[in-house]
Structures are given as structure tokens and as C-alpha cells.
Structure 1
Amino acid sequence: MAAASTTEDAEKLQFIEEITTNVDAVQERVLAEILARNADAEYLASNCGLAGTTDRTTFRAKVPMVTYEDLLPYIRRIADGDRSPVLTGSGHPISEFLVSSGTSGGEPKLSPTVNDDLDRRLLLQSLIMPVMKKNVSGLDEGSGLYFNFVKSETTTPGGLPLRTVLTSLFKSDHLKKLPYDPCHKYTSPTAAVLCEDTFQSTYAQMLCGLCHRHAVRRVGTVFAYGLLRAINFLQLNWRQLAADIEAGELTHRITDPSVREAVAGVLRPDPDLAQFIRMECSNSNGGDCWAGVITRIWPNTKYLDAIATGSMAQYIPTLNFYSGGLPIASTIYGSSECFFGINLRPMCDPSEVSYTIMPNMAYFEFLPLDGDGGDASQLVELAGVELGREYELVVTNYSGLCRYRVGDVLRVTGFHNAAPVFRFVRRGNVVLSVDVDKTDEADLQRAVERASSALLRPHGAAVLDYTSRVCTESIPGHYVVY
């Protein structure tokens, strides 16, 4: 099994090297595929006048750059039940809508997706562990304690599923059929992840993680804040967790039959583990019992796996407190519209995280931020970006979004072979401005950190979370931070 894993990892790493070497050729092929499969789509054929061409030059000349609002009439038609080829070709109908975290007019964005989008997302996901194993030794020997969750889903008026990216991923047949292996894959049973009751799901995942604490090599969730929520859950529920472990019986607060059945296969009476948890989570040892709690309870943990860039950077100091300074790996960059790339230097400092765009995911273009506005003629292809410059990401994906402004601002920090490496700077529309100034997330984060160090740290306190707004009710205007 180990030899097979090593061979597969080597093939994945070789794939990364090959696909990042021929970036422009891959991008040309991807665009041709997208245009060919969506040739009879109303948007491309009638609105843009492509008439079935797969030529890149014609595409760049005829297809406009758009925002979500520009495509909203088409999206609403599909959501309301129009089954004609509106955004995608007749052979690849929209299969579901993914709910974006962004908003438009107070409503969540709906990102159309087709069936084989899942294959592309899973392909990118499959590259992460080979990269991690290249940078961290011993990961094959243990498992991951990941706090993953699904959310309740609904349907559009036309009957298409409407759910988050992670809910779509975890409810896919591919992941549901993966064998449960707490010692070599993940400590959380699938039933616990799929439970829509957040308390029951978190309780079961935490309990199984505690039972397999010596097998855990990495602790993670999607975003950094999720790990803080998990620690807070442990702070609130460690007494009941210890009682369950001591008795070998699950609390009656867990009522989901599938979760109870899954945990029953893990839970055994273990008074020693129960006493250990009580010692570590109380003040029995003196001092602040929560400092370094992750490495004390899961002593073989090598890193935390969570996105800690952008607005999530504010949680890094608190994660360092709970983990004793473990490395934080931000491994993947994606959105509801598309998965974009991975971090090939995952053990770098969070402030230095950059992602290498994988050119097989979609067709990528970039709008220079130092240009004269939003003219599509200014768009630069993936192979043409320049080191040090900032761009807004524009994507053409397989699901009918063509030259779509994602809204992310990226800075080119280097190249891996011929593939550009980008650092996430900010969301394009998440900027505070009183007058002519532009204060982005990174600037605000640095200001909050300085204020926290000067005003709170001497009193043993820290900022756990914050938000902000612009106030122009007085002169001069200013920012208010809560």
C-alpha cells in the first residue's frame, strides 16, 4: 500500500510539473474545449456571435468582460426552469447552483455548475497531499482531524439543487463512497460530516478526534476561523465529552441515528483518556490550560490546515496561541465559480502564501489594476502577466461563465516553471474609502494588530474578531472598528 501511495504521489507531482511547463498550450486547449462544448449556448452563439468558433483570437475580440449582474438575467432563467442551452451547450446542462459567499443586491450569488465540474475540483484536491508529503515527513503514518460540515440545501423554482460548494462536494457519490479509515485518512466518519445539525456534527467529529488523538498528524478545516470555533466547542463541551469516553456511551443529546451508529464503531470505555481530557481542559495543571492545547491533546500534529489569507489572517495570533506556534498551511485557492490553484510552498509563513494557478482548471485572464478601467481589450492572458503587478482575476469556466470578473485582486509574486504564482491581495469590492484613500483588508489588519499590541496585550487580552465601516458623519471622516 505504501509503495502504491508513493507511486501515485510521484505521478501527481510530475503532473504538476508538466502542466505548469506548457501553460499557454494548456490554456489554448482548455478554451477550445469550453467553446466547443458550449457552441450552441444562447449566450455564446446569439449574444456574442461566436457561431461555433473555438478560435482564441475571435473569442477575445467578440466576448465581453462581464460581472455577475450582467449574467443575472440568464442565471435567473435557468434557475426558474429554462432547460434550453442558455449558458452551456445542450450536452452539458446546468446540474446545480452553488451559493457564493458574495452578495448581489442583498441576495447570495448563484454560480451555475455542470456535472463534470466536480471532477476538476477533485483533481485539484488530489494534488494537495502529494505536495504536503513532499514538504512534511510522516503524513502517511497517521490521519487528519478535519472539522467539515454540510449545510441544509434547497432548490431553485425550476427544481435545481441550491447548495454550498462544500455541501456539493461532501454529498457527492465519490466522497460518500470513500472507506472510513480513522488511522490513515480522516478521524471523522462520513455520517458525522453529513449531519446538518451543527452541534451533533461537531460533537461527533470532536469525540472521534479525541479517541484517535495519537493518530492525528494534521488538524484542519476550510477557513482559519473554523478551527477557533472547534476549540471553543471543546472549551464548552469537554466535560460531557470526557464523560462519554469514560463510559463508552454517547450522550443522548446526539439523536441522529446515522451519527450514533458511526460513533458506536469508535467509542469504547477509556477512563484514562477521559481523565487526561479533564486534566488538560481544566486548570488542574495551573496556568492557562488552553495555551498550546492542540499539541497537548494531539501531540503528533505537524501542522494546521486552513485558509489563513485575506480576512482570515486576523485569526493567526489566536491559532498560534492554541497550537503552540504550529505551521499553518493554506493549501488551496478557489471559489464557487471555479477552483484556481494550489500552494506549492505550503509550509511558508502565512504572510507569504502564494498560489500557483493550474491552467487546466479554466481559461484565465487578468485585468491590470493600473489600467484605464474595465476595458476587455486590456485583459492579459495567464502566460502574459508580469512579476510584481496586480490584476483582477477574470475567468471563463466550463459552466458558462465567460470572461467573468471574479472580484479577487492578485499580485504576481513569481513563477513555477511557466505558471505564474499569485498572492491574494483582497476582494476587489472590499475596500474602505473615506475620500480618495483606499484601505484594503491587509492595511486594516495591520492597523488592528498594532492597536491590539499597544492597548490590549499589556492587559493579557487580544482581538478575537472584528469588523469595520466608514463614518462620514463628522469631518474629517474616519473608520470605525468594532
Structure 2
Amino acid sequence: MSLSSKLNELEELTSNAKQIQDNLLEEILKVNANTEYLRRFLHGSSDKELFQKKVPVVSYEDVRPYIERVANGEPSDVISGEPITNFLISSGTTGGKQKIFPVNDRYFENFAFIYALRSSIVSKHIDGVKEGGKSITFLNMGLLSATPFGLPIASAVTNFLMSDSFKKWSSKRYASPDEVMFCADSKQSMYCHLLCALVRREEVVSVSVPFASALVQAIKFLETHWKELCNNIRSGHVSEWITDLGCRESVSAILGGSNQELADLIEHECSQKSWEGIITRLWPNVKSIQCIVTGQMSQYIPTLEFYSNKLPLISLSYSSSETFFGVNVNPLCKPQDVSYTFLPNLSYFEFQPVDSRNNDEILDLVNVKLGCFYEVLVTNRFGLYRYRMGDILQVTGFYNAAPQFRFVSRKNIVLSIQMEATTEEDVVMALNHARLVLESSGLVLMGFTCYSNVSSVPGHYVLYWELKTKTPNGIVKLDNKVMVECCRVVEESFNVIYKKFRSKSDSIGALEIRVVQQGTFDSLMEYFVSNGASPSQYKTPLSVNSPEVLAILEEKCVARFFSDKIPPILVDEGNNDGSQDAANRRKSN
């Protein structure tokens, strides 16, 4: 489809948002009203008013039993009037735990639609991108498992790579061949992505990755491997440790033989003392970086600006395992000003006002009000009805009749480095466990706060602790063994998503506890009170990111301790309810 036709489709969708939303809900209800789940509330009806009156707002725990029944082999019509063919596994960003969501080919059609629309929007705003240039991407096949019934379980990207929609997708726009994306070994895939990108450096016009953290990791990988990459280019041969046959053959063809001049150029740039602007130095024709830099990913903006000479950082779309929401129609705006225009053909959207006194007040997509904050509810084609996402959004404007939203936060999440999500409950539980270690050594935790430190790669969690002795006026003596044990206990208390990222040396670093002087949290309260906080209602913030607050804490820091072990992943945490065993059995058969 041409650039103009895609942009015309955007205009049509946003101009007729109300009618398209109403039609979509009617279609969803006609197909799904007789499912076991909806029949309890609608008795076969597809009436919108009855749907809004009778169908409850739900969380994942409410619908999990129905999803698991289908995953375990019961018919799709437990929750969906259309056959369920795949399950998407979430990253865990909404609630700190991975979830599985049922989908079919329609989801991947929407995936392709969103990506094509994104490309058209970028081409409209950035000259040169539409002229056959290539994009660096770091997509690769992730872990693939199966339900006990044999349906695939994987991330959205992995499922898309396996779908018919991807077979129709013009992947020649990428600097890497399909075989590199199909590689399940993330290290081999990353190496080959970079090797192809360097060989094709003059053709590359953009960098496109799902999240900002992934690009920071890729740069760190390049810092470690650039000499070896140069040797490959100089010799014309791929390193022997690249054993994936698809990668080896396809990348060797792109390498094409020895290129001494290119190897010397890359070596010259990478051997400089500073890597400031390394992206534009290695890829001089890159015009933008396309990745999510909103929400928790905003912490990586300064790092990417340093590496890219402040190239445009474009958050193109807003999506999740549950559904796609919309696109950024103003891609050249500042990262902190990104808003997403919701598209009415993707799912049926409703919005519950944040902190509303009337818990029953729920608005349709076109009835939200400028400046107000909402939690978004999703009704999709695959078995989610009035599903509470946990995402808090603010209305920033309208594009034709479709509202535009700024992502504000996820509920209850206080720490995140990658796509893991550590909630207030996670932190409090971990501290309660660590308190037992402290008490056994005669110490008491008097105050704490924390933050996600991404000033170095990999980032890591930092906890600031103010301690005192159990005895009045006692002197706090810090035992290294005890404090390191506290670090370990905290990490072991966190959810499995954190532990999986922590097990990878380049994803999340060892947790750190920084002990501060007694009285530090009094100083913190004085700071907040001096800036308008009420002394009678003041609460120490559970997490902080303000440079001023961090400066106060750093000035009072007296000791630092790090976890010395990677937290173990217990069998019942990481076995996906036996789905991996099922996948292994299918493979052996």
C-alpha cells in the first residue's frame, strides 16, 4: 500500500472514531456473546448498553482461569468465538508477573498494519527514509514454548516472526537478513545484526528497536566486540563461534569478502577515547532512532542522545500483549512530549477516570476530556472484555475525532531497568525479609528509598538505607557479610522477571545498598516541606529520581554494598506451568 493511501486511511479512521468503535464493539459481541464467559452477563445479546451495564471491569486474575482452560485444551469458545491459535506471553511490565494472552491471525494483521502505518508517518516527516534505505534492528526469535495442548506461547515479536503476516512483510528494509532474526541465540543474533549493519553502513538510514534499553544494550555489546567485528570485515570471514547455520551463510553472503578500508574506518572510530556520537560516526546517513522512550524507557534518553549526537528519538506506537492502541502522528516532537493517537479499529476502548469518586463512571473513546487522567480498559476480539490494563494516561489533544494520550505511568511500579516491573508490594516484601537479617545483627532499618540507576550499563537497583542500633545511642557498626546478605535477600525476594534479567550479565547489574547517615531522611523531609509538602501528610517517597533528592542522599552516603550472587530461579517460578516441557516433548517427537 502506498504512502498516501496509508495516510488517507489514518485520516478516515480518526475522523470516524465513534462510528468505527461502535461497529467494532457490535462485531465483537456478535461473535463472542455466546462464549461461556460472556453468556453469563449478556445471555446471547450484542447490545452495547447491556454490555456496559452487566459486563464487569476485570483484572488478569479474574480472567486467568478461563485463559488457562483454553491453554489446557478446552475449546476456544470458553472465551472467544473465533479459534485461538497462539498465546502471547507478556513482559511483566503491568504487574510484575508474566501473563499469557490468547490471540489469532487478526492480531498479527494488526501488527503488520501498525508497522506499515508507522513507516508511512516517518516517511512523511523525514526526508530520505522512503528512498530504499535500510534500518538497523535487533529483533530475534525469543523463547518458544507451548501449552499442554500444543499451542505456541511466545512474545509478540516471536509470534509475529512465525506468522503468515511476516511472510508477506517486506523485511528487505532491514540491514539484517531474515535468518538473523530467526536465530534463537540472542548473542549470535546480536553479533550478526551489528556485522551486517556495519558492512551496510552507507545504506542505513534509521535504527529501529522495540525499546530504548535494547539499543543501549546493543551499544554496550558493540563496545565489547568491535575489534572482533573489524577482524571479520578485514578477513571476509565470520567468527567461528557463529554456529547458527542460517546466520553464518546469510551473513557471509553480505560480508562478501575482505574489506580492509571499512575495517580501518570502523577501528578508527571505535578506538577514540569518547564514544559520544558513535551512532552517527559509524552510520553517517542515519536520520532517526525509532524506539519506545516513554514511560520507564525515558530514563535512557540522555544516554541515547549522547551516543547519537541528539538524533530524533521517535516513539512511534503504543502497544502491549493485550492490544495495539495507537500511533504517534508527530514523530519529531521531543521525547517528553510524545502522545499517541488511539486508532478505533484495533480494540474497543473505555476509560475510567483516575481518583474519581464515582467508580462506575466509564467513558467511551471519543468522550474523554482534555487534560484528564484515565485508566484504559480494553475489549478485544480474543477473549478480553473490559480488561483493566493498569496504564494511566492523560488526554493531551485530539487528532480529528480521535483522542491523543500521554503515557503517565503503570500502577504501583516503583523500579524498572529493563522491561521488568518491581512494584511497591515487591519492594516492601523484600525489605521485610531483609529486616530479619538486620535484626539478627542488632540493627534496625529506620528509613529507606530506592531508584533505578542507569548511569552505567547494565543498570541496577539502588536502595538507600538509614540504620540505627537496637540500643539507644549505639554506634552503627556495618558488617560486610551481613550487608551483602541483605542485598542477596532483597534480590531473592523479587519476581521471576527481575531474576531472569538479572541472570544475564548485560541486562541488570547487582543490587546495591547505600547506607546513609542517621538523620538523612529528616533532611529529605525538610527538603520536600520546603518545596510545598505538608508536614502532617508527608511520606518518604518509596522511589526517587529527582537529581536534587539524589544529591541529598549521595552527600550523606557512608557505605556501599553489592549482592555477590545472582538470585536463583526456582522451578515453580520458571517452568511456565509445564509448557516448556510440552514444547520439549513436541520437539523430541
Structures share a fold, TM > 0.5?
yes
Q: Would the aligned equivalents of 2:376 and 2:388 in 1 still touch at CA under 8 Å?
A: yes
TM-fit CA distance, 1:119: 1.1
Summarize the Cα distance change of 1:479–1:117 in structure 2 as closer, same or farther, 3 Å threshold.
closer
Deviation at 1:157, TM superposition (A): 1.8
User: 1:165 corresponds to which residue?
Assistant: 156
Does residue 1:409 correspond to 2:403, yes or no?
no
Tell me whether 1:186 sits opposite 2:174 in the alignment. yes
In the alignment, structure 1 residue 320 sits paired with structure 2 residue 308: no
Q: Which residue of 2 aligns with 1:272?
A: 261
Q: 1:140-191, CA deviations, whole angstroms, 9 ceiling, x for partnerless residues?
A: 221111111221210112222110011111222332454653xxx1101111
Displacement of 1:220 after TM fit?
A: 2.1
Match of 1:66 among 33, 58, 66: 58
**CA–CA distance in structure 2, aligned partners of residues 65 and 396 of structure 1:** 10
Shift of 1:448: 7.2
**Equivalent position amino acid for 1:196 in 2:** A
What is the match of residue 112 of structure 1? 102
Secondary structure at 1:234's aligned position in 2?
Answer: helix
Q: Is the 8 A contact 1:472 1:478 kept in 2?
A: no
Q: Is the aligned partner of 1:87 residue 2:79?
A: yes
Give matches, 1:263-302, under 5 Å: 263-268=251-256, 269-283=258-272, 287-288=273-274, 290-302=275-287
Tell whether the 8 Å contact from 1:320 to 1:326 is kept in structure 2 after alignment: yes
Per-residue CA distance 1:312-366 (angstroms, 9 max, x = gap): 1111111111101111000010000001100001111000000000000010000
**2:68 matched to 1:76?**
yes
Cα distance in 1 for residues equivalent to 2:341 and 2:464 = 34
Shift of 1:104: 9.0
User: Does the aligned pair in 2 maintain the 1:367–1:392 contact within 8 Å?
Assistant: yes
Counterpart of 1:33 in structure 2 is 27
Q: CA offsets per residue over residues 126-152 of structure 1, 9 Å max, x none? A: 110111111111112211111112212
Asked if the contact 2:451/2:463 (under 8 Å) is kept, the reply is: no
Quick check: 2:319–2:325 contact (8 Å CA) kept in 1? Answer: yes
For residues 218 and 129 of structure 1, the distance between their equivalents in structure 2, rounded to whole angstroms, comes to 11
Corresponding position of 2:293: 308
Secondary structure of 1:378's match? coil
Aligned to 1:420: 403
Is 2:372 the counterpart of 1:389?
yes
Q: Aligned partners of 1:199, 1:282: CA distance in 2, in Å?
A: 22
Rounded Cα–Cα distance in structure 2 between residues aligned with 1:391 and 1:468: 31
Q: What is the rounded CA distance, in whole Å, between the counterparts of 1:35 and 1:387 in structure 2?
A: 29
Q: Deviations over 1:211-230 (max 9, x none)?
A: 11011110121000111111
1:260 aligned to 248, 252, 255, which one?
Answer: 248
Alpha carbons of structure 1 residues 340 and 473: separation in structure 2 relative to 1, 3 Å: farther
Quick one: distance in 2 between partners of 1:304 and 1:271? 29
What does residue range 226-265 of structure 1 map to in structure 2 within 5 Å?
A: 226-265=214-253
User: 1:105, 1:350 → 2: CA distance?
Assistant: 25
Aligned CA distance change for structure 1 residues 478 and 420 (closer, same or farther; 3 Å): closer
1:108/1:251 CA distance change after superposition, 3 Å:
same
Report Cα offsets for 1:365-417 as digits up to 9, x if no partner.
Answer: 001003136x3x31110010000000001000001100000110000000000
Percent same amino acid at aligned positions?
42
C-alpha contact 1:176 1:190 (8 A) present in aligned 2:
no
The alignment covers a number of residue pairs equal to 443
Corresponding residue number in structure 1 for 2:322: 337
Q: Mark the CA change 1:162 to 1:388 in structure 2 (over 3 Å): closer, same or farther.
A: same
Residue type at the aligned position of 1:258:
G
Deviation at 1:51?
Answer: 2.5
1:125 is aligned to 2:115? yes
The change in CA–CA distance for 1:63 and 1:469 in structure 2 (over 3 A counts) is farther
Contact 2:134 2:204 in 1 (8 A): yes
* SS of residue paired to 1:71: helix
Q: 2:169, 2:111 → 1: CA distance?
A: 16
Does structure 2 conserve the Cα–Cα contact (< 8 Å) formed by 1:469 and 1:479? no
Seen in structure 2, the aligned counterparts of structure 1 residues 149 and 180 have a Cα distance that, compared at 3 Å, is closer
Give the counterpart letter for 1:173 in structure 2.
D
Q: Which is further off, 100-109 or 217-226?
A: 100-109
Aligned to 1:441: none
CA distance in 1, matches of 2:191, 2:414: 37
3-state DSSP class of the match of 1:102? coil
Alignment partners' CA distance in 2, 1:179 and 1:358 = 23
Moved over 6 A (4+): 103-106, 461-464, 469-476
- Give how far 1:111 is off: 1.1
Alpha-carbon deviation of 1:479? 3.9
Bigger radius of gyration among the two: 2
In 1, the alpha carbon distance for the partners of 2:54 and 2:465 equals 43
Q: Secondary structure at the match of 1:360?
A: coil
Contact 1:103 1:109 in 2 (8 A): no
Question: Aligned pair in 2 of structure 1 residues 473, 83: CA closer, same or farther (>3 Å)?
Answer: farther
Q: Distance in 2 between matches of 1:193 and 1:84?
A: 31
**Aligned partners of 2:178, 2:457: CA distance in 1, in Å?**
34
Match of 1:359 in 2: 344
Equivalent residue number for residue 147 of structure 1: 138
The Cα RMSD (Å) is 2.6
State the alpha-carbon separation in 1 of the partners of residues 64 and 36 from structure 2: 14
Which segment drifts farther, 145-154 or 468-477? 468-477
**CA-CA distance at 1:478 after TM superposition:** 5.4
TM-score by length of 2: 0.71
Partner of 2:209: 221
Counterpart-to-counterpart distance in 2, 1:106 and 1:448: 17
Which amino acid in 2 is paired with 1:235? E
**1:193-212 pair list within 5 angstroms:** 193-212=181-200
Residue 96 of structure 1 is matched in structure 2 by: 86
Q: Which consecutive unaligned segments of at least 5 residues does structure 2 have?
A: 416-422, 425-449, 469-520, 523-539, 545-561, 563-589
Call closer, same or farther: CA 1:306–1:364 in 2, change over 3 Å.
same
For residue 408 of structure 1, give the secondary structure of its aligned residue in structure 2. strand
Match of 2:99, SS state, is: strand
